[in-house]
Amino acid sequence: MYRNEEPQEKSSNNRRNFIKDSILASLAISLGTEIVYAKNMPPGLELIGLNSSPLNTFPGKSNALTVLNDRPVNMETPAHLLNDALTPNELFFVRNNGLVPSQINAETWTLTIEGESARKAKSYTLNELKTKFENITYPLTLECGGNGRKEFSPPAKGNQWTTGAVGCAKWTGVRLKDVLEDVGIKSNAVYIGYYGADLHLSGAPDKDAISRGVPISKAMEEESMIAWAMNDEDLPLLNGYPLRLVFGGYPASCSGKWLEKIVIRNKVHDGQKMNGSAYRIPCNPVAPGASVEDKDMCIIERMPVKSLISFPKTGAIITQGQKLPVAGHAWTSSSNITKVELSIDFGTSWQNAYVSKSTNRYAWQHFEATVQFPAKGYYEVWARATDNEGNTQAMLIPGWNPKGYLNNACHRIAVKVS
């Protein structure tokens, strides 16, 4: 009896230690340093340093990001810090579902491709990916499906993103298509799914923090990539170092970080956060506050057209007669933005902004305009983008949905003319 139980005892102890170690490692990453007396920490103790800048210095990330949550780490970029054509790495938002992996060795990192619809299972080291396949570079916009959730009423649970769970970086990697084809795709393939090295929040060694994917048609697009660089540098740890997927135009939740495995599936991928109501919206519009059964929720695929005013910062004060330059970005999952309009009278009249040419689909385009105000007082500048398919933005709040996804309402900034 005793003999049979012993190994079990031991393994459950190991498991407990493993969980404790992973949580401690993850806390140390958030703090940017080791917790010296970690072994004395009472279980469940919340470290006060986590909520107090400048102690919560997330590696590679600016202190100017707004931290919504430190476990898991979620931080967004204030709108006025998104003014660059390409979002700098230290300003790029972070959305984690689990614990950041703590021991990463890029030299030995491997990506495995398998699944029912893969002709074989095959693994590649990072170096093999870099040398065996054509390298590609594209600016691509990543936006969390829940960006703008804070505006929904009644409120939706989850990270209360305002406008900053979006960024556009220049990604370098290889085409996902080229790698999938090197493995061999069976004709019955319909979806791909990813698995990353992050751990579930409990610290459980099962890698089930999140495992989402995209239809095979999306996976095969020219710009769908497995990336190791962001703006010509290694990916920041919090954005998936050393390897991640990047799918422009789809909810960023599809762009798996710390990428270890891709499965080619003969059915819609059923990994963690592919089911239930996660990353889904009602298949048909519902009244605000309605409860919707899981069976009536559909997976979010293409992201809606949207824009953001990145200059000036909301709350700008100018003097009467002064012209105000206004600038920002607009993006769509269609091919390009055709028009950005600005309004200073709550959407009654609109003026066209200049819009830069599209470099490639799924990269944001820039707009600028000069705005004049007729009298002293309070104004709001609203921006509204339209894409080549004629899709445009809701002026205030678009369709309410239980999880608060896809808020592409016009971005608004406040201006006072004094």
Ligand X SMILES: Nc1nc2c(c(=O)[nH]1)N[C@H]1C(S)=C(S)[C@@H](COP(=O)(O)O)O[C@H]1N2
Q: Which residues bind Mo ion (CB under 5 A)?
A: 95, 144, 253
Residue type at 121?
A: A
Please choose which of Mo ion, ligand X, none residue 22 contacts, taking the beta carbon within 5 to 8 angstroms, the exact cut-off set by kind: none
User: What is d(CA 380, CA 308) in angstroms, rounded to the nearest whole number?
Assistant: 14
Name every residue whose Cβ is closer than 8 Å to that of residue 135 and which is 6 or more positions away in sequence: 172, 173, 174
Q: Is the C-alpha dihedral spanning 70, 74, 79, 82 positive or negative?
A: positive
Using CB under 6 A as the binding rule, whether residue 213 contacts ligand X is answered as no
Residue corresponding to tokens 């007669």 = 321
- State the nearest-atom distance from the C-beta of 140 to ligand X, in Å: 12
Please choose which of Mo ion, ligand X, none residue 203 contacts, taking the beta carbon within 5 to 8 angstroms, the exact cut-off set by kind: none
Q: Among residues 60 and 145, whose Cβ is nearest to Mo ion?
A: 145
Q: Among residues 300 and 413, whose Cβ is nearest to ligand X?
A: 300
Q: Which two tokens stand for residue 174?
A: 């290889």
Using CB under 6 A as the binding rule, whether residue 393 contacts ligand X is answered as no
User: What is d(CA 237, CA 104) in angstroms, rounded to the nearest whole number?
Assistant: 9
Q: Among residues 58 and 379, whose Cβ is nearest to ligand X?
A: 58
- State the nearest-atom distance from the C-beta of 198 to ligand X, in Å: 5
Using CB under 6 A as the binding rule, whether residue 255 contacts ligand X is answered as yes
Q: Name residues contacting ligand X, limited to 256-275 (CB under 6 A).
A: 256-258
- State the nearest-atom distance from the C-beta of 93 to ligand X, in Å: 5
Using CB under 6 A as the binding rule, whether residue 144 contacts ligand X is answered as yes
Using CB under 6 A as the binding rule, whether residue 404 contacts ligand X is answered as no
Using CB under 6 A as the binding rule, whether residue 98 contacts ligand X is answered as yes
Q: Which two tokens stand for residue 14?
A: 């190991």
Q: How many Cβ atoms sit within 10 Å of the Cβ of residue 179?
A: 22
Burial per residue of 118-145, b for 16 or more beta-carbon CB atoms within 10 angstroms, e otherwise: beeeeebebeebeeebeebebbbbbbbb
Please choose which of Mo ion, ligand X, none residue 366 contacts, taking the beta carbon within 5 to 8 angstroms, the exact cut-off set by kind: none
Please choose which of Mo ion, ligand X, none residue 246 contacts, taking the beta carbon within 5 to 8 angstroms, the exact cut-off set by kind: none
Q: Among residues 209 and 342, whose Cβ is nearest to ligand X?
A: 209
- Cα dihedral 153, 154, 156, 157, rounded to 10, equals 130
Output the CA–CA distances (angstroms, integers) from residue 342 to 201, 269, 327, 346, in the order listed.
42, 41, 10, 10
Please choose which of Mo ion, ligand X, none residue 228 contacts, taking the beta carbon within 5 to 8 angstroms, the exact cut-off set by kind: none
Positions touching ligand X (CB under 6 A) are 92-98, 142, 144, 196, 198, 209-210, 239-240, 252-253, 255-258
